[in-house]
Amino acid sequence: LQMDVNKLNITLLRIFRQGVAAALGLLPQQVHINRLIEKKNCVELFVSPLNRKPGIAEALPSEEVLRSLNINILHQSLSQFGITEVSPEKNVLQGQHEADKIWSKEGFYAVVIFLSIFVILVTCLMVLYRLKEKIQLSLRQEKEKKQEIHLSPLPLQTSQSKTTNSMVQPEQAPKVVNVVVDPQGQCVPELKPPLCASPSPFRMKPVGLQERRGSNVSLTLDMSSLGSVEPFVAVPTPREKVAMEYLQSAGRILTRQQLRDAVACSHLLQTEFMEIPMNFVDPKEIDIPSHGTKNRYKTILPNPLSRVYLKPKNPSDSLSTYINANYIRGYGGKEKAFIATQGPMINTVNDFWQMVWQEDSPVIVMITKLKEKNEKCVLYWPEKRGIYGKVEVLVNSVQECENYTVRQLTIKQGSQSRSVKHYWYTSWPDHKTPDSAQPLLQLMLDVEEDRVESPGRGPVVVHC
């Protein structure tokens, strides 16, 4: 149009529709104005049949409409609008028609077929799932039948031997153990007490290994009680006497058959393990005021008979001699083959490196992460170079292995220097055991190789 479409009002649009209807030879009711297009300055129309049913708007094809259009009448009746072009456009109701076709007879059949296929697939999956459950149930029942083993009572006899400092083989009265495997596969030991043996002095609730170690107990310091402790006397305490008596009455050597039976029923081993007295040290047994400030856990203390003594910085300062560490015997009863200690704390890092230097340790083994839920160990080694008290630590190289990291260190004090290897086992899960023992065995082989290649040097330091 030459006329601006924005100036078209209702009256002009009615005149425009009547003029188009006259040019097409139709009634004005058959011509419909769809929209005004400002960008092209045009009017979009469509034509519907006269005999259309109510609710159905089937527009006539644009080619058919143009064939019946009389251009002369169009220009005469609508000369004021200045019509410049008449062109066919898409069917304005095409989208609606396509939507209506979806619910036609063909569309209905397509929906029915789709739903039928969906129901068939779901039914097949349910049948397969039920078959899988039945197969698993039958396999489980067969396995339970195979585990229904009835063992006759085994009299466990032990020989008498004298108690030594390194091994206890006490006198043991005959004990009868019945092992029964119930249908659920659980081993239930039935222990018959000996006729002439004193009952165990310990009856404790079964607890996990971590609770027995005490590593789930957070550090709580009572500084008032640490300042005044009783003098330590190197004599067996009543607790130690009771524990020794129990070990003397309960220890025994298993035959191969008894060992196989015990492995077949791990619950029996767990029950026996729970009866072993816990080796907790009374804080009063350590005659060092305020030693609790150097303990990560208040219930895990070093054994006074085998703990590591640091050379004092001041003869009157007994706390400077204390570190939570113990010597451990090695294979064949070798004394001081290892040192077991806690993960260094921020106030014990200098003590740790003083111990490594004092004991001339060739290897350090770290079996913990720095933080697992709570802090387990501080970062006590430097990235390149660090000084801890009187000990200087240099990191020469770092080797990343699959389950652990190896650092080659050089430690110096004064004019002397030594080489130390640091193994950090990073795959040990918190409060759990590793899924496979192979990485740990490889670590042990590497550590043992380094220890053998360092003759004349001190114990291997291990901490968690």
Q: Which are the catalytic amino acids?
A: 464
Taking the CB of residue 453, how many other CB atoms lie within 10 A of it? 10
**173-177, long-range: CB < 8 A, 24+ apart:** 173/197, 177/153, 177/268
Query: How far is residue 264's CA from residue 33's CA, in Å, rounded to a whole number?
Result: 91
Give CA separation, 336 vs 16, 82, 148, 439, in Å: 111, 112, 48, 26
Strands 363-366 vs 416-425: parallel, antiparallel or unpaired = parallel
Query: How far is residue 160's CA from residue 451's CA, in Å, rounded to a whole number?
Result: 37
3-state secondary structure the chain: CCCCHHHCCHHHHHHHHHHHHHHHCCCHHHEEEEEEECCCCEEEEEECCCCCCCCCCCCCCHHHHHHCCCHHHHHHHCHHHCCCCCCCCCCCCHHHHHHHHHCCHHHHHHHHHHHHHHHHHHHHHHHHHHHHHHHHHHHHHHHHHHCCCECCCEEECCCCCCCCCCCCCCCCCCEEEEEEECCCCCEEEEEECCCCCCCCCCCCCCCCHHHHHCCCCCCCCCHHHHCCCCCCCCCCCHHHHHHHHHHHHHCCCCCHHHHHHHHHCHHHHHHHHHCCCCCCCCHHHCCCCCHHHHCCCCCCCCCCCCEEECCCCCCCCHHHHEEEEEEECCHHHCCCCEEEECCCCCCCHHHHHHHHHHCCCCEEEECCCCEECEECCCCCCCCCEEEECCEEEEEEEEEECCCEEEEEEEEEECCEEEEEEEEEECCCCCCCCCCCCHHHHHHHHHHHHHHHCCCCCCCEEEEC
